[in-house]
């Protein structure tokens, strides 16, 4: 027996509407690939240095972006290199020209370089705004003595109201 045209259309429509749905993964993967590339390209523009709440940095109108390099921090009574304590402030005397623990750590880090650039290695010093200048000067001198001659001081960007 032959089915009518209307019955065939109804059957085709019913079978089409009651099929198990499928997920098109190709377009979903395309979207995620584009998103990953977008995030990779744009994440390189952001330069944020890791700062502890213990170190209230001085404010400045510096316009240069932060550069990620070796970081020396003065936190409380500790001098830290990349988050590792290398010296205590109570062991630093006024007669010392250099800070021994800091000098040893910088010498170790310098030894890992195959060749030291002509202008020296880079280091960023993060110290609170109320840090004694004589201590800051000793830290800078220790860095320079160990071939870390490009010394930068970390500051907080001044917020302009205009």
What is the pLDDT averaged over residues 144-158? 85
Helix axis angle, 100-111 to 133-145, nearest 10°? 30
Residue 152 shares a structural domain with residue 98: yes
Q: What is the 3-state secondary structure (H, E, C) of the chain?
A: CCCCHHHHHHHHHHHHHCCCCCCCHHHHHHHHHHHHHHHHHHHCCCCCCCCCCCCCCCEECCCCCCCCCEEEEEECCEEEECCEEEEEHHHCCCCCCCCHHHHHHHHHHHHCCCCCCCCCCEEEEEECCCCCHHHHHHHHHHHHHCCCCEEEECCEECCCCC
Q: What is the pLDDT of residues 13-27, one digit of tens each?
A: 888 777 776 777 788
Residue 73 shares a structural domain with residue 153: yes
Tokens for 118? 């002509």
Q: What is the pLDDT of residues 65-105, one digit of tens each?
A: 666 788 898 888 889 998 889 998 888 877 777 888 899 99
In a domain, 51, yes or no: no
Q: Binning pLDDT at 50, 70 and 90, where does residue 141 land?
A: very high
Residue 83 shares a structural domain with residue 152: yes
Of 106, 96, 41, nearest in space to 70 by CA: 106
On whether the CB atoms of residues 62 and 155 are closer than 8 A, the answer is yes
In a domain, 52, yes or no: no
In a domain, 48, yes or no: no
User: Lowest-confidence range among 28-42, 54-68, 71-85, 120-134?
Assistant: 54-68
Residue 70 shares a structural domain with residue 12: no
In a domain, 150, yes or no: yes
In a domain, 99, yes or no: yes
Residue 15 shares a structural domain with residue 89: no
Residue 79 shares a structural domain with residue 119: yes
pLDDT at 107: 92
pLDDT at 50: 58
Give the count of domains, the chain. 2
pTM: 0.61
Average pLDDT for the chain: 81
In a domain, 49, yes or no: no
pLDDT at 158: 72
Residue 67 shares a structural domain with residue 130: yes
Residue 65 shares a structural domain with residue 140: yes
On whether the CB atoms of residues 81 and 125 are closer than 8 A, the answer is no
Which residues form the domain of 144?
A: 59-157
Residue 21 shares a structural domain with residue 87: no
Q: Which residue has the higher pLDDT, 97 or 127?
A: 127
pLDDT at 116: 86
Of 91, 80, 92, nearest in space to 134 by CA: 92
In a domain, 162, yes or no: no
pLDDT at 90: 84
pLDDT at 62: 66
């Amino acid at each position: 027996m032959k089915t009518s045209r209307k019955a065939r259309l109804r059957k085709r429509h019913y079978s089409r509407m009651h099929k198990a749905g499928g997920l098109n993964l190709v377009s979903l993967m395309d979207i995620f690939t584009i998103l990953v590339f977008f995030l990779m390209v744009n994440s390189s523009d952001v330069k944020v240095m890791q700062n502890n709440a213990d170190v209230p940095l001085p404010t400045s109108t510096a316009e240069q972006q932060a550069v990620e390099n070796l970081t020396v921090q003065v936190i409380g009574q500790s001098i830290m290199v990349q988050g590792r304590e290398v010296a205590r402030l109570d062991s630093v005397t006024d007669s010392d020209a250099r800070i021994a623990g800091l000098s040893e750590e910088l010498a170790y880090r310098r030894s890992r370089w195959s060749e030291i650039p002509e202008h020296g290695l880079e280091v960023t010093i993060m110290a609170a705004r109320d840090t004694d200048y004589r201590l800051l000067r000793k830290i800078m001198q220790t860095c320079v003595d160990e071939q870390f001659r490009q010394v930068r001081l970390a500051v907080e960007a001044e917020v302009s109201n205009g």
